[in-house]
Amino acid sequence: MKALKIIGVIILILIAIFLIVPLFLANQVTISESTVINAKPVTVFNQVITTSNWSNWSPFHKADTAMIAEYTGPTKGIGSTMTWQSKTMGDGSLVVAESKPYSYIKNNITFTPDEGGAIGEWTFQPQEDGLLVTWKTTIIGLDYPMGRYMGIMAKTMMKPFMISGLMDLKAVCEALPVPADISIIEIENVPSLSIMDSTTVEGIGDMFEKDYQLIMDYMKAKKIEMAGVPYAVYYNWDPSGIIRIRAAIPVSGVVKGKGNIEFFDLPATKAVFAKHFGGYDTSATHDDIMNYMSDFGIECDDYVWEVYVTDPETEPDESKWETDIYYPVK
């Protein structure tokens, strides 16, 4: 009988300890992992903020290849949502709640049904040896008492997943094409002689050859000096239709034109700017610029221009040809 009383006391003490300990445990737990990725911030940022990209590197998708994921809302950015169903990982949803290009992302995560939630935070910090990427997950609303005990185990369980995810994210980002360097700069006005013309995509090369030659012949006849390299203003882009383009050559001041050769003053403005290196197919760099403007909510005027810095006749290596691209900011 005495032994039973002792056992009962011991059981009561153990129960008391079991119930008291979680009173001192937090109702949330944070797990954080970091790695350095040799890629530009825009590349890594867009892999994370575009929820459909998570299937490229997410450790949870990797752990359950049969996971069913649905993507709703914007393709990327605030409100972009991923909802998943998984027999092994459970069901849930992730929504982008905050974003600061290209430095911070916050995701709100909900586990269903009624299994709590989490906050995912990503920071991107440029370093000398690459981009320091930190993935922090805070599991919130841990129930008393079992949830709080589970919180202790969560770190051990989550860390390998997060490390694996960062390694896969690193591999994906480092294999992607390097995007153009993009900045916003102030541009002074550019007095020019120009020809306003139109053509199809296929006819752009022939049009430039004809128009630039006409302008240069006129300048030579009038002894007008070039004040810069040729450029072109694009007023629309229609791959299957007609494109309106102004071919222009800078001059030192206001000069008179003749016929279809007219004076044109490219206005001073603030512009989104990038250098393109390679052939005259600059579409990839234009895509990079438009993604940049979308990320930062920048609107541009209804024209863009390209400056053809390199003369192909003096530089045979196409990979070294430089084209400067400008999108005027409204």
What's the pLDDT tens digit per position in 291-319?
A: 999 999 999 999 999 999 999 999 999 99
Same domain, 220 and 314: yes
Domain assignment of residue 5, yes or no: no
Q: Which of 175, 191, 212 is the last residue of a domain?
A: 175
CATH code of the domain containing 171: 3.30.530.20
Same domain, 212 and 156: no
Domain assignment of residue 291, yes or no: yes
Residue type present at position 36: V
Tell me the two tokens of residue 128. Answer: 């000398």
Number of domains in the chain: 2
Domain assignment of residue 20, yes or no: no
Report pLDDT digits (tens) over 8-29. Answer: 545 554 444 444 444 444 456 7
| Half-sphere exposure at residue 131, Cβ-oriented, CA atoms within 13 angstroms | 23
267 contact partners, CB below 8 Å, separation of at least 6: 189, 328
Among the residues of 50-191, which ranges form H helices? 59-63, 146-175
Q: Which helix (H) or strand (E) holds 317?
A: none
Share of the chain above pLDDT 90, in %: 75
Q: Which helix (H) or strand (E) holds 205?
A: helix 204-221
Residue from 188, 190, 194 nearest 228 by CA: 190
The pLDDT value recorded for residue 64 is: 85
- Region 178-198 average pLDDT: 97
Distance, CA of 273 to CA of 327 (rounded, Å) = 7
Tell me the two tokens of residue 311. Answer: 């003369």
Mean pLDDT (the chain) is 89
Domain assignment of residue 98, yes or no: yes
The pLDDT value recorded for residue 19 is: 44
Same domain, 90 and 59: yes
The pLDDT value recorded for residue 282 is: 96
CATH code of the domain containing 259: 3.20.80.10
> Is the peptide bond prior to 177 cis by the omega test (within 30 degrees of 0)?
no
Q: Which helix (H) or strand (E) holds 12?
A: helix 2-20
Same domain, 155 and 196: no
Burial class (CB in 10 A: 0-12, 13-18, 19+), 259: exposed
The pLDDT value recorded for residue 180 is: 96
Q: Which helix (H) or strand (E) holds 130?
A: strand 130-140
Q: Which of 124, 143, 175 is the last residue of a domain?
A: 175
pLDDT at 179 over 70: yes
The pLDDT value recorded for residue 57 is: 95
Domain assignment of residue 285, yes or no: yes
Same domain, 47 and 95: yes
Same domain, 140 and 263: no
- Decide: helix, strand or coil at residue 74: coil
| pTM of the shown model | 0.81
Q: Are 284 and 278 in contact (CB under 8 A)?
A: no
Q: Could you tell me whether strands 81-85 and 91-100 are parallel, antiparallel, or unpaired per DSSP bridges?
A: antiparallel
Domain assignment of residue 110, yes or no: yes
Tell me the two tokens of residue 222. Answer: 């009038």
The pLDDT value recorded for residue 60 is: 86
Same domain, 126 and 190: no
* Cβ neighbour number for residue 316 with a 10 Å cutoff: 8
Same domain, 208 and 155: no
Same domain, 258 and 317: yes
Segment of 23-37, 83-97, 184-198 carrying the highest mean pLDDT: 184-198
Domain assignment of residue 15, yes or no: no
Residue type present at position 241: G
- Region 90-116 average pLDDT: 90
Same domain, 164 and 189: no
User: What residues does 63 pair with on adjacent strands?
Assistant: none
Domain assignment of residue 81, yes or no: yes
**Parent domain of 201:** 182-328
Q: Are 57 and 175 in contact (CB under 8 A)?
A: no
Report pLDDT digits (tens) over 200-246. Answer: 999 999 999 999 999 999 999 999 999 999 999 999 999 999 999 99
Q: Which of 109, 144, 175 is the last residue of a domain?
A: 175
